[in-house]
Structure formats: structure tokens, C-alpha cells
A = this chain, B = another copy of it.
Amino acid sequence: MIDLLKNRTTIRSYSSEDVSDELLNEVLEAGVRASTTGNMQVYSIVVTRDNERKKALAPFHFNQPMVVNAPVTLTFCADFNRFNKWCKHRNAEPGYDNFLSFMTAAIDALLVAQTVCVAAEAKGLGICYLGTTTYLADKIIDFLKLPKGVVPVTTVTLGFPADQPKQVDRLPLEAIVHQEEYTDYTKEAIDSLYKEKESLPENKVFVEENGKETLAQVFTDVRYKKADNEHFSTVLLEVLRKQGFLN
């Protein structure tokens, strides 16, 4: 099983084979066994399967084709709404309308999301995360009719793989792991840790195609730009306020 984790790749292209309700439920049942703060389970999962609804959802993920092409799209949400309602019906006064509680619920949602993904891969399915969820959370909230207390944090597309792509690079483990204390990165350490990544033919092509001098510039100038990040930060904080997590 650890080999399954080590050898996995993200799947962006799906076969026409559907995912049965039975299989989806088995994967979701495994997911909800992930750790959850105080066993509160402060998350929800919204399933999008209907073709018309997939088409309508796609723009809120910048029209990434996986949303329409995958048989199933799952939106994982931080959710204190259900828990708060339970409290109110049980003569208990919830105090979860704050930023710490949002983080608690977001952590719950993300641990479940990743467990669902591992379970799906164990069953031969392929998955792709959509990072766009935190960019257009306001639009997704309207589309999925998420009430106060609920914020979408990530989205996963799911289906049987149409192909088996080559595994992409990762930094060496010593770039990521610190022993006992954080060791900050010198210029020499950065050069050494990013050397292999920067030397890969596919990354060199990527720099060239984007007309940049360095791979880092593809990120800062093309893919994840300061102005976009700042704009969507304002939107996301407004979402947290509106959904009742910044009191």
C-alpha cells in the first residue's frame, strides 16, 4: 500500500466509465474515518454529478476541463453549520463564529479530502485537486447554496484514468524535512536543493514556452501573480466574514 502512495500521479484525463454510487460511497465511508477535532466532524462534502451542473460549476474553477470531464466532482467544505444547529437544539450555546474555528473546520475538511483521495486511488480511480476553490469561494457558495458557517476549501475531481501520466518531480526530502529545529536556507542550499528540478527537460521547456529567464519567474509572473493573490485574498477574507468566521 505504501507503494501506491509513492507511485501515484494526479489524473487530469478520465475514461468514459462512470463511478457507481456504491463505489463512491465506499470511498467516502473510508474518508470519514480520518481524524477530526474532538470527533466534531465539522465538514461537509457536496457531490456534483449532474452534467448540466458540472458545466455550470466549471467557470468557478476557471473552466479547468476536469470539472466537466470527470464523472464526479467533490467540494470539501469547512462546516460549523450542522454542529451549531445541533448545539442550539440541545440547549448549548456555540462559540464557533471565529477564525480559530474556521481553521479547525478547514483542517477537518482537508484531512477527509486526502483520505477520500487515497481510498479512491486504492480502488483504481484517479483524482485531481482544484486549487481554484479558495479563489472563487464566493461563487461556489452561491452555486452550492452553502449557508452561513460553511466555506468550501478544496475540490477534487474523480474518475477512472484515461491514461497513466509520468510522475512529476519533487524536491529531495532534505529540502522539506528539518531535524529538531528549522534550518533556514542559504543561497548554496537553495542552489543545491533546486538543481535537479531546474535541470529537468520538461521544466526547461516550461520556462522557454512562457518566455521567461528562470523557472521561478514562471510562478511569480505567469502562474501565481502578486496582484491576483492580493485580489483573491481580499475576496476570501470577505467570504470568511460573510460566512460568520471573523467575529
Residues of A within 8 A of B (CB): 1-2, 4-8, 10, 25-35, 37-41, 43-50, 53, 81-83, 85-87, 89-96, 98-101, 103-104, 106-107, 110-111, 113-115, 117-119, 122-123, 127-129, 131, 134-135, 144-147, 150, 153-154, 168-171, 173, 175-182, 184-185, 187, 190-191, 193-194, 213-217, 219-221, 223-227, 229-230, 232-233, 236-237
- Contact A115 to B5, CB < 8 A, known contacts A131-B107, A180-B53: yes
Which residues of B have CB within 8 Å of A95?
220, 224-227, 229-230
Copies per assembly: 2
Which residues of B have CB within 8 Å of A129?
35, 37, 111
Q: Can you name the residue of chain B whose Cβ is closest to the Cβ of A32?
A: B170
Min distance, Cβ A112 to any Cβ of chain B, angstroms: 8
Which residues of B have CB within 8 Å of A99?
233, 236-237
